[in-house]
Structures are given as C-alpha cells and as structure tokens.
Amino acid sequence: MLRMGGLDRLAVAVLLDRYGLVLRMQAPGQLIPGSYWGESEAGLIGRVLYARSDTPLHSVLHEAAHFICMSPERRAGLDTNAGGDDAEECAVCYLQLLLAMELPQCGFARACQDMDVWGYSFRLGSTRAWFEQDAGDARLWLLAEGLVDVAGKPSGLCRL
C-alpha cells in the first residue's frame, strides 16, 4: 500500500492546493486531527487535510475527494465527518481514482489495488471492475456538479 512517507509529498500538496486544500503532515505517532477512521487514516478539518508518513495515499485522496464533492455549506463547517449521501460517496470514490491518475507515483492500477486491499467494497467485487463497468452514475454526478469535464478529467473546481 502506498503511504505518504514513500511519496513525493510536494506533488500531493500541489494537487490538493488546486482545490484549496492544505496538506499538513503530523509527526510519526502523533494523533491525526479530523480522522474519521482513526489510526493512520487522513483527517479533514476545514481546508486542512492531515496525514502522517504512515497514512495511506488512498486515504488522503479519499478525504480530498470528499472536500471537493461536498456542498459549500458542509465544507464551511467541516470537522472530521464529511457526510454526504450514497450518490456522493460513489462520486468521491470515482474522483479519488481520477486524482490518483494525476500522481506519477500512484496511477490508476495501483490506486485500485490499494482500495481493494483496504476493503472498499463494490457490487462487482473490485474497484477496477466497478470503475470500468458500474460507475456511470458516479461519473454523471461529477459531470453535473462541474467536477469533471466531458472527457472525464478533473476540472480543478470544488462543488458549488
């Protein structure tokens, strides 16, 4: 599993910065503020995404995608629990994969593998199968919200 300690953190920070997010790295063993899952999972409070060197990249990208996909009202009061409905959660997972494709040290195949290892569950049994065969609704949600363009590339915008 790709973890923040083995990655080019500047590349991750630049990607997050496009959406107004600040990556704040915590010291090893230190509590991660705003972490919904605890342990080494990324945390989100306001516009700050917290991680440690042992935080999985997929967790950072998932929390970033939550920030991008949530309404401005929820974003304004964001502290730990991103909330959202099932349709938004699917869009978050889809966008997470698109964001992974923008990081040379990760990419689509590795992001799918790491999501499967962590335990994301999809109707077709794997992240890749879901993305390729069953995620049309998530793609359309992202397009309708202006978060991807017609070619399916991230727009660099947050939901309005």
Q: Round to whole Å and give the CA distance between 69 and 141.
A: 10
**pLDDT in the model for residue 121:** 87
Per-residue confidence (pLDDT) for residue 92, from 0 to 100: 98
| 90 close to 35: Cβ distance less than 8 angstroms | no
List the structure tokens of 109. 């195949």
Residue 7 confidence (pLDDT): 96
Spatial CB neighbours of 134, under 8 Å, sequence gap ≥ 6: 122, 123, 124
**What is the DSSP-derived secondary structure letter of residue 44?**
E
| Residues ≥6 apart with Cβ < 8 Å to 68 | 19, 95, 147, 157, 158, 159
Q: Rounded to two decimals, what is the model's pTM?
A: 0.97
Q: What's the CA gap between 124 and 135, in Å, rounded?
A: 10
Tell me, what's the pLDDT at 3? 98
* Rounded distance between C-alpha atoms, residue 46 and residue 64, angstroms: 11
pLDDT per 10-residue tile (average), the chain, 160 residues: 96 98 97 96 98 98 98 97 96 98 96 96 93 97 98 97
| Rounded distance between C-alpha atoms, residue 140 and residue 121, angstroms | 20
Beta strands in the chain (DSSP E): 22-25, 43-45, 48-51
